[in-house]
């Protein structure tokens, strides 16, 4: 493994960085060859084009120090690429969402101990507020003028809102066929919502092109992706802390680009290494919708290569046909003894209603996918129903109302009289 730090020069944006701009982060390291690059707006290895990831020199940190922190993701700031005074800069303060004991859903699915990590209660109602908060900090420290993203919907919401609060110009790009609530939920915060005629992978390609041509643009999931991705680790930290500084036995995580799944695993590994939780085996499961299941297809075929697909599913927030972190998801799920599974759109709809009626949690299609996969994993014997299991709900159902609007509604429409009520035979 070569560890050569590329010399910084005056054209390197790092030259203007203030001391401690990225906290305990020390460099960007290639996930494939280990090559190190100075911290900056870089995402691909100059040697092998592999993805860059943040490297740290973590200080000794105790549970008590973390517990004394704010009730948001900044309680873990020592483990993120953000400055020590991050709370001072205007941001959305996401995180520390509920970990719900889901006994009703567990009973329904035959799982003894089940928890729902409910990230639908973040400021813009999806887990994306976590990653965007870290990307915003990086954009600010790197002196970006425009805060931008290609998005399947939720990311656009989070970027537009965080940029508004931070007082930085935002431009967000979405596929033009996106659910209307997700369009409104972005456009309300920004005057620059750009709808692109194409699918997410087309939008993503356009964003990379713009990032290459324009100066001063921070595309959260493109050129500042290494910083952005680290935000997902906070999901893993929180789950462990909320379980009383323990790791679960099994965890089911939705897969779009695959970043979240890889980072939750990384978070668990870091907690073990830092002595904050006891080491133990745990299984990681990935959830996809059948209409966009390139990772699950590769998993089932027993191959390492992921063949890109054209998405066709109601789970639009997971509709990435060419997932950047797909191969790492395969590795993690295989190594930990988990699996990657997929479900039909109808199973997604059923699971949305099931979660709502058992736990009072209204999830979007991504959460429907995850709960439906959980159910399928139990039914097919891939997940052990006796082991403690966590399922992540990553977004709110109000954003994808259309998915279930023909399944739920009034049981009857009646005249405003007691007689009409009793006649309707509701009770």
Ligand X SMILES: *Cc1c(COP(=O)(O)O)cnc(C)c1O
Return d(Cα 267, Cα 384) in angstroms, integer.
23
Q: Taking CB under 6 A as the criterion, which residues in 16-75 touch ligand X? A: none
Nearest-approach distance from CB 292 to ligand X, in angstroms: 11
376 binds, among Zn ion, ligand X, none (CB under 5 to 8 A by kind): none
Total binding residues toward Zn ion, as defined by CB under 5 A: 8
Contact 309, 292 (CB under 8 A): yes
Distance CA 23, CA 81 (A): 5
Closest contact distance (angstroms) between CB of 26 and Zn ion is: 17
Provide the 3-class DSSP secondary structure of residue 120. helix
CB of 37 to Zn ion, least distance (A): 9
Which single residue is written with the structure tokens 């939750």? Answer: 264
CB of 28 to Zn ion, least distance (A): 10
Of 41, 394, 397, 404, which lies in the binding site for ligand X, with binding defined by CB under 6 A? 394
Residues 64-123 that bind ligand X (CB under 6 A): none
| Contact call for residues 132 and 231 (beta carbons, < 8 A) | yes
**Cβ(289)–Cβ(258) under 8 Å?**
no
Q: How far is the CB of 52 from Zn ion (least distance, A)?
A: 8
Q: Choose among ligand X, Zn ion, none what residue 313 binds, the Cβ cut-off being 5 to 8 Å by kind.
A: none
Residue 117: beta bridge partners? 99, 392
- 48 is a contact residue toward Zn ion (CB under 5 A): yes
Least spacing, CB of residue 230 vs ligand X, in Å = 12
Judged by CB under 5 A, the residue of 5, 15, 32, 422 near Zn ion is: 32
Structure tokens at 209: 């092109």
Binding-site partner at residue 50 among ligand X, Zn ion, none, CB < 5 to 8 Å by type: Zn ion
Please write down the HEC assignment for all residues of 29-91: EECCCCCEECCCCCCECCCCCCEEEEEECCCCCCHHHHHCCCCCHHHHHHHCCCCCCHHHCCC
Q: Residues near 135 by Cβ (< 8 Å), separated by ≥ 6?
A: 147, 159, 218, 220, 221, 224, 227, 228, 231
Report, in Å, the least distance between residue 353 CB and ligand X.
18
| 260, 293, 296, 313: which one binds ligand X (CB under 6 A) | 260
Q: Does 261 bind Zn ion (CB under 5 A)?
A: no
* Cβ proximity of 173 and 157 under 8 Å: no
Please answer whether residues 155 and 182 qualify as being in contact, where contact means their C-beta atoms are separated by less than 8 angstroms. no
* Residue 259 in the binding site for ligand X (CB under 6 A): yes
CA-based R_g, the chain, Å: 22
The first and second tokens of residue 226, run together, are: 């290494």
Q: Does 400 bind ligand X (CB under 6 A)?
A: no
Long-range pairs for 302-309: beta carbons < 8 A, 24 or more residues apart: 304/330, 306/330, 308/201
Question: Which of 35, 44, 38, 46 lies closest to 4, judged by CA?
Answer: 35
Q: Which stretch in 59-67, 250-258, 297-305, 340-348 sits in contact with ligand X by CB under 6 A? A: 250-258
Stretch that binds ligand X, among 8-16, 256-264, 288-296, 383-391 (CB under 6 A): 256-264
For residue 257, the partner it binds in ligand X, Zn ion, none, with Cβ less than 5 to 8 A by kind, is ligand X
The CB density around residue 68, as the number of other CB atoms within 10 Å, is 9
CB of 38 to ligand X, least distance (A): 26
Confirm or reject binding of residue 266 to ligand X (CB under 6 A): no
296: contact with ligand X by CB under 6 A: no
Residue with smaller CB distance to ligand X, 95 or 258: 258
Q: Is residue 126 at the binding interface for ligand X, with CB under 6 A as the rule?
A: yes
Closer to ligand X by CB, 35 or 363: give it: 363
Residue 423 binds which one of ligand X, Zn ion, none, with CB within 5 to 8 A depending on kind?
A: none
Q: How long, in residues, is the chain?
A: 427
SS3 289: strand
Report in angstroms how near the CB of residue 44 gets to Zn ion at its nearest.
8
Which residues make up the interface to ligand X (CB under 6 A)?
A: 126, 128, 154, 254-260, 317-318, 364, 366, 394-395
Summarize as ranges the residues that interact with Zn ion (CB under 5 A): 30, 32-33, 35, 45, 47-48, 50
């Amino acid at each position: 493994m070569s560890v050569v730090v590329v010399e910084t020069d005056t054209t390197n944006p790092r030259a203007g960085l203030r001391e401690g701009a990225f906290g305990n982060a020390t460099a960007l390291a290639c996930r494939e060859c280990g090559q190190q690059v100075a911290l900056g707006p870089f995402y691909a290895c100059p040697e092998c084009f592999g993805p860059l990831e943040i490297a740290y020199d973590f200080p000794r940190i105790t549970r008590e120090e973390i517990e004394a922190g704010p009730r948001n993701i900044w309680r873990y700031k020592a483990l993120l690429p953000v400055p020590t005074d991050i709370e001072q800069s205007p941001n959305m303060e996401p995180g520390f969402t509920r970990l719900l004991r889901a006994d009703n859903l567990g009973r329904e699915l035959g799982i003894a101990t089940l928890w729902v990590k409910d990230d639908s209660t973040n400021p813009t109602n999806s887990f994306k507020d976590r990653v965007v908060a870290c990307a915003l900090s990086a954009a600010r420290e790197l002196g970006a003028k425009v805060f931008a993203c290609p998005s399947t919907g939720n990311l656009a919401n989070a970027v537009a809102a965080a940029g508004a609060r931070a007082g930085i110009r935002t431009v967000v790009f979405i596929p033009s066929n996106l659910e209307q609530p997700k369009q409104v939920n972005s456009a309300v915060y920004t005057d620059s919502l750009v709808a692109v005629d194409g699918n997410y992978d087309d939008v993503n390609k356009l964003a990379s092109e713009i990032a290459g041509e324009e100066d001063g643009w921070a595309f959260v999931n493109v050129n500042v992706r290494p910083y952005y991705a680290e935000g997902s680790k906070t999901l893993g930290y929180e789950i462990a802390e909320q379980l009383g500084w323990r790791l679960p036995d099994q965890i089911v995580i939705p897969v779009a680009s695959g970043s979240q799944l890889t980072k939750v695993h990384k978070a668990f590994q870091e907690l073990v290494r830092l002595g904050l939780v006891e080491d133990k085996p745990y299984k990681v499961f990935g959830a996809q919708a059948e209409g966009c299941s390139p990772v699950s297809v590769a998993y089932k075929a027993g191959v390492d290569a992921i063949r890109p697909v054209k998405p066709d599913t109601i789970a639009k927030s997971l509709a990435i046909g060419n997932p950047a972190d797909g191969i790492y998801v395969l590795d993690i799920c295989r190594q930990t003894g988990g699996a990657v599974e997929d479900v039909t759109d109808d199973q997604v709809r059923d699971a949305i209603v099931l979660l709502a009626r058992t736990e009072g949690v209204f999830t979007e299609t991504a959460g429907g996918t995850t709960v439906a996969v959980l159910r399928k994993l139990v039914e097919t014997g891939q997940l052990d129903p006796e082991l403690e299991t966590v399922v992540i709900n990553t977004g709110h159902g109000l954003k994808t109302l259309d998915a279930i609007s023909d399944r739920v509604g009034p049981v009857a429409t009646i005249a405003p009289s007691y007689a009409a009520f009793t006649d309707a035979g509701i009770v």
